Amino acid sequence: MEDAVVVEQLQKYRRVTGVDGDPRVQELRGAVARLRRQLAVLPAELPDRAAADDELAALDAMVSHGLPEVPRLRRSLLLIAGAVGSVSALSPALTEVRERIDCFGELPRAR
């Protein structure tokens, strides 16, 4: 009987604190998926398309396996922006990814 109570408490804790219950994770995953789709259908030739695809896949995997580290999120954003930043058609989707990453914590302000 006690085992069932422990299992139930663990499941409740995961729903409240886990990845499934964190709206920031779901919103970031959605933003990453939209940018990946838009990049996939972009007819323009991008020299860094493969790098952007790889980093978007890594970003999605990162947020799929727990709460990601903010410095790693920001590093991924820089790599993705460097790869696709000059393509105006991707700008809104890239901005959305940046905004979702910002939800995990702001950069410290310089004094």
Q: Of residues 45 and 16, which shows the higher confidence score?
A: 45
Q: Please give the backbone phi and psi of residue 65, each rounded to the nearest 5 degrees, phi first.
A: -115, 35
The pTM for the full model equals 0.76
Q: What is the pLDDT of residues 82-92, one digit of tens each?
A: 999 788 999 99
pLDDT higher than threshold 70 for residue 15: no
Q: Helices 70-84 and 49-64 meet at what angle, rounded to 10? A: 160
User: CA dist 3 to 13, 30, 62, 69, Å?
Assistant: 15, 36, 31, 33
Q: Of residues 25 and 16, which shows the higher confidence score?
A: 25
